[in-house]
Amino acid sequence: MAVQTVNGPPARVPRFSGAGSVTPVAVTGGAGGPDGQTLRKFAVYSSQLASVVLSSHKQLKNNEMRDHMLGEMFALDGRVAIVTGALGRLGREYVRTLARAGASVGAIDVSGDASAFTALIEAGHQVHTELADLAIKAETDRAIAAIARALGAPAILVNNAGMGSSPAAAGSENGRFEDYPEVAWDTMIDSHLKTTFFASQAFIREYRAANQRDGSIINVSSTYGVVSPDQSIYQYKRAGGATYFKPVGYSVAKSGVLNFTRWLAEYGAPLGIRANTLVPGGVREAGHAPEFIAEYEARTPLGRMAADSDYNGAVLFLASRASSYMTGATLVVDGGWTAR
């Protein structure tokens, strides 16, 4: 057999110069083809190239397995979630988290600007907003039924609604316990417990009507529902001449959420509904006094107050299949506050 040779500059064959990269190797030789040294270099190159291809293939497979595993555990595609107190700082975070995980989200609040979710909607996520006073049963039923009509039957409920203070008792609810106003007490019980009660009723009604079998209710409590408020961190106010105590109503209402969750867990289990409580710690706000922040952070093992986004992972965990064997439980995310 005749061998045809081609005259011209030597061919260039890639050679590795480091992990994951190659540089050319000149293939030279006479009329009979490359010499032995070049062939040995080419053989080494071929082996290295095969190793990189295999490694890349393994990495791709590992990435696919990771994405599949995380998707199986945390993806909410095709599910409808409802968030109450949705237009507040943390409520907006929860709506975004659930929507970005694939859920269609119904957002309910007593007031606020629904344009907070415009960017989500423009990005292709489904968010439907209803304004309603959830302390009124008829309004709660109307809002949740409207969400079910717009998005489909709900499978996830985040009971996040609740006031931090009573507008009707402004200036008087932080005084001595024996002077704590009845209206402030009623506001706390209604805004935290009654809203959770009414929203859970309406949610389960819609859930059952659609024959759903995989549901999750997340009730939001507080560290002050687990332990008593540390009144010493407010001493700086009293030192300045003010009569100030973290009031009783908030703590009692948030404590009630814990056992309401346990009751729901027992009731909901035969329906395929899990119910768990999220216990968040204090979230830093622009209006916090420096003295308060210093006291709070000194009392917290992680040495800081929470950021708005610090509870998103916990909400997604409780909403998703990642927590499928968890019900009646209390998930505390507080920087270690209750550990002391």
Q: What is the mean pLDDT of residues 78-95?
A: 98
DSSP 191-251: IIIIHHHHHHHHHHHHHHHTT---EEEEEE--HHHHS---GGGGHHHHHTT------HHHH
Determine the 3-state secondary structure of 32 from DSSP. Answer: coil
Whether the Cβ atoms of residue 24 and residue 13 lie closer than 8 Å to each other? yes
Stretch 102-127: mean pLDDT: 97
Mean per-residue pLDDT, 100-126: 97
Place of tokens 């083809």: 33
250 noted as active-site residue: yes
Res. 63: pLDDT tops 80 = no
What pLDDT was estimated at residue 39? 73
pLDDT tens-digit profile of 282-331? Answer: 999 999 999 999 999 999 999 999 999 999 999 999 999 999 999 999 99
**Mean pLDDT of the 101-129 span:** 97
What tens digit of pLDDT does each residue of 177-232 get? 999 999 999 999 999 999 999 999 999 999 999 999 999 999 999 999 999 999 99
Closest to 216 in 3D by CA, of 264, 144, 249: 264
Average pLDDT along the chain: 89
User: What pLDDT is recorded for position 59?
Assistant: 76
Give residue 255's identity as a one-letter amino acid code: S
Catalytic residue among 94, 207, 250, 311: 250
| Separation of alpha carbons 41 and 24, rounded Å | 11
Looking at residue 29, its pLDDT comes to 52
Give me the pLDDT at residue 65, please: 66
